[in-house]
């Protein structure tokens, strides 16, 4: 592949430095610090050639043509410039068990759990163990392959909220995907030539030539040796053995959350697993909201919602990650550091998310979805294909409706440019970010948790985020419908000790500079009727009714405006949620019931979790909020 691709690029005269590994010094365009990083990676990984990515359309077309020739992707003739990749079935999701943070002291990474239990708040690896793991993996890992050097920006190039990275990789699939998910190429290199700091990202599929065993689905990976490691002190990421999204597109969770959360702590801002949306009322007043949900809780659907309420408008700034910093006036401003959407395909449809369907109609890379015989894609949640159209599943086998296995992998993905979203917010690339009025936490809770409530204050809101729990998800390798603790929807993504993370959030209230803190809410679209097991709330566009109440609460004059106090926070008062046109079968009483026995049990679970998992690192103020909730639920 590598020689072939270099040949293609030379023949087509694409801009970009392509050199043999030995003549790296002859790349004149690399800033000194970047050249030094690349030189070290070349010496360790021994690629057959180096290609500095420019990000031009010609280059991208050549990368995709090379991938197609290798059999790693195939063109989907039904759409404009869309591609399908099928991975090795052993390389389909984030691998939390092989994802580590490397620091001198364990407690810098995770609170030390009590009683010898395993930490759920991250995996620490000692520097010596990591060095050994690196030496077992990286030397010579790119033999016979091209090393691509990807200069990229998280956030609009030039924004004071943006951060830069350079990723070296032997995966052209990663190059194609990073071109969608980040701002990539020459403009970033120009910025780095000013001497700006950058995160060093090194990625290898771990399948040097000659191959020791045949590839599965023409997809190079090394599942037995997967290791995704982060070194926050030196701002480095080294990922080995996986070609799948979250493990290989190092700008995403690895940089934008794990490393960025640590940079944010050091610099006094927040890097969070949150969507950002703008909502405008019928009078033309607009507010921006950031919301944290674990995977499979409808984050992308909310970010691109089509409101069921007449006259209301939602616009999307981002669907996954928010970087938030206070401006000189004390307003919290957010950017979406990404440039694309890396969304879960199954369940996305014209009914659940028409705008996402519109977004992915062109220039999109699909991974592990089903394929139709007329050159399109298919997954669970879409209408059955037209008569005479047959389906091929994500393994490349013929598939029929009613089969015992799914057609698309539950964590199959689309990777599409954000600019194609028909409701992308006009300010989505604003260099100063958008002003955040509300932060929403949410999870998939079948019982006990009301549709929406507001925290009593900032400190209580931080506790609400810390207390988040949700049914597990296909985005990681967990199985089944177990309710897991997922504080701030960041459980797999903390870049440092969770106790220190909570203290960092609490510290926002005591900033010396002027500070206008957003209000904090919790939502639950997924409560079920205990008798029938059916969802109590229709969700999707109807969630605008909840956003309307949140919108009103952000502009309130009195604390109890449109709200009543409960043991867990402020609930909408009766009639405060607009139910016009909702249908009579929605039981608002059941949706807002706060059963004391449920919450007594919830506080017991939280007490055990905080004691076991966070221990002495739990901030006193969070402990005080838990104690206050315990008192309220028992009185």
What does DSSP assign to residue 476? S
Structure tokens at 166: 């350079």
Give CA–CA dist 219/157, Å, rounded: 32
Structure tokens at 153: 């920006």
SS3 at position 126: coil
Strand 413-417 to strand 274-280: parallel, antiparallel, or no bridges (unpaired)? unpaired
- Angle, nearest 10°, between helix axes 260-267 and 498-507? 40
Please answer whether residues 391 and 376 qualify as being in contact, where contact means their C-beta atoms are separated by less than 8 angstroms. Answer: no
Structure tokens at 381: 């949640």
Annotate 148-165 with DSSP letters as a single string.
EEEEEEESSTT-TT-EEE
| CA distances from residue 49 to 140, 202, 233 in whole angstroms, order as listed | 13, 16, 30
The number of angstroms, rounded, from the C-alpha of 570 to the middle of its chain's C-alpha atoms is: 29
Annotate 78-92 with DSSP letters as a single string.
TSBS-EEE---TT--
Please answer whether residues 520 and 463 qualify as being in contact, where contact means their C-beta atoms are separated by less than 8 angstroms. Answer: no
| CA distances from residue 629 to 283, 493, 602, 621 in whole angstroms, order as listed | 38, 27, 10, 12
| Order of strands, sheet of 398-399, starting from the edge strand that comes earlier in the sequence | 377-378, 370-372, 391-392, 398-399
CA atoms within 13 A on the CB side of 135: 6
Give CA–CA dist 603/601, Å, rounded: 5
Q: Where are the beta strands (DSSP E) in 196-253?
A: 199-204, 227-231, 236-240
Q: Of 89, 48, 23, give the one whose Cα is nearest residue 210.
A: 48
Question: How many CB atoms within 10 Å of residue 585?
Answer: 8
Catalytically active residues are 94, 244, 253, 273, 295, 297, 320, 413
Structure tokens at 207: 């399948």
| CA distances from residue 105 to 101, 109, 111, 298, 614 in whole angstroms, order as listed | 11, 7, 11, 37, 16
Give CA–CA dist 208/206, Å, rounded: 6
Quickly tell me which residue has 């790296």 as its tokens.
Answer: 24
Helices assigned H by DSSP within 469-578: 498-507, 544-554
What does DSSP assign to residue 424? B
Question: How many CB atoms within 10 Å of residue 624?
Answer: 13
Give CA–CA dist 579/542, Å, rounded: 9
What does DSSP assign to residue 425? -
């Amino acid at each position: 592949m590598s020689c072939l691709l270099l040949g293609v690029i030379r023949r087509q005269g694409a801009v970009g430095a392509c050199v043999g590994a030995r003549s790296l010094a002859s790349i004149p365009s690399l800033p000194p610090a970047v050249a030094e990083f690349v030189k070290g990676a070349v010496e360790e990984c021994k690629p057959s050639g180096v290609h500095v990515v420019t990000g031009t359309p010609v280059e991208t077309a050549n990368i995709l043509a090379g991938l197609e020739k290798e059999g790693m992707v195939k063109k989907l003739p039904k759409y404009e410039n869309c591609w399908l990749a099928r991975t090795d079935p052993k390389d389909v999701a984030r691998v939390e068990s092989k994802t580590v943070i490397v620091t001198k002291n364990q407690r810098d990474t995770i609170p030390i759990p009590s009683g010898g239990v395993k930490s759920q708040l991250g995996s620490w690896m000692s520097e010596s163990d990591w060095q050994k793991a690196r030496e077992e993996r990286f030397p010579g890992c790119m033999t016979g392959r091209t090393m691509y050097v990807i200069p990229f920006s998280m956030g609009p190039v030039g924004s004071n909220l943006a951060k830069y990275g350079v990723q070296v990789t032997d995966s052209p699939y990663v190059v194609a995907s990073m071109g969608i998910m980040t701002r990539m190429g020459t403009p970033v290199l120009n910025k780095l030539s000013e001497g700006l700091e950058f995160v060093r990202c090194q990625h290898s599929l771990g399948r040097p030539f000659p191959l020791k065993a045949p590839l599965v689905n023409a997809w190079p990976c090394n599942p037995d040796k997967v290791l995704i490691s982060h070194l926050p002190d030196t701002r480095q990421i080294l990922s080995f053995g996986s070609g799948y999204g979250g493990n290989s597109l190092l700008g995403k969770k690895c940089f934008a959350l794990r490393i960025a959360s640590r940079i944010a702590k050091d610099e006094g801002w927040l890097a969070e697993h949150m969507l950002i949306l703008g909502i405008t009322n019928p009078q033309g007043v607009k507010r921006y909201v950031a919301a944290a949900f674990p995977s499979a809780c409808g984050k992308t659907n909310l970010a691109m919602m089509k409101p069921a309420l007449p006259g209301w408008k939602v616009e999307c700034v981002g669907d996954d990650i928010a970087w938030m910093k206070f401006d000189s006036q004390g307003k919290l401003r957010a950017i979406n550091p990404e440039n694309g959407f890396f969304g879960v395909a199954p369940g996305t449809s014209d009914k659940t998310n028409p705008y996402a369907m519109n977004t992915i109609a062109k220039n999109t890379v699909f991974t592990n979805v089903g394929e139709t015989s007329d050159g399109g894609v298919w997954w669970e949640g879409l209408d059955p294909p037209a008569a005479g159209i047959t389906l091929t599943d994500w393994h490349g086998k013929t598939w029929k409706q009613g089969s015992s296995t799914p057609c698309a992998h539950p964590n199959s993905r689309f990777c599409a440019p954000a600019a194609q979203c028909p409701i992308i917010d006009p300010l989505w690339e604003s260099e100063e970010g958008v002003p955040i009025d509300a932060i929403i936490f949410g999870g998939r809770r079948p019982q006990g948790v009301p549709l929406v409530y507001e925290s009593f204050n900032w400190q209580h809101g931080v506790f609400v985020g810390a207390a988040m729990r949700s049914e597990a998800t296909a985005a990681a390798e967990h199985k089944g419908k177990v309710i897991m603790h997922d504080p701030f929807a960041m459980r797999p993504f903390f870049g440092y000790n969770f106790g220190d993370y909570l203290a960092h959030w609490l510290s926002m209230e005591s900033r010396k500079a002027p500070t206008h803190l957003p209000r904090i809410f919790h939502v639950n679209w997924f409560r079920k009727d205990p008798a029938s097991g059916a969802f109590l709330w229709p969700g999707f566009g109807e969630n605008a009714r909840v956003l309307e109440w949140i919108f009103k609460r952000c502009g309130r004059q009195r604390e109890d405006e449109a709200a009543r106090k409960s043991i867990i926070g402020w609930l909408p008062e009766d009639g405060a949620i607009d139910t016009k046109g909702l249908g009579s079968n929605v039981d608002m009483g059941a949706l807002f019931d706060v059963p004391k026995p449920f919450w007594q049990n919830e506080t017991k679970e939280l007490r055990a979790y905080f004691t076991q998992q966070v221990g002495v690192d739990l901030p006193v103020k969070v402990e005080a909020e838990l104690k206050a909730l315990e008192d309220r639920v028992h009185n």
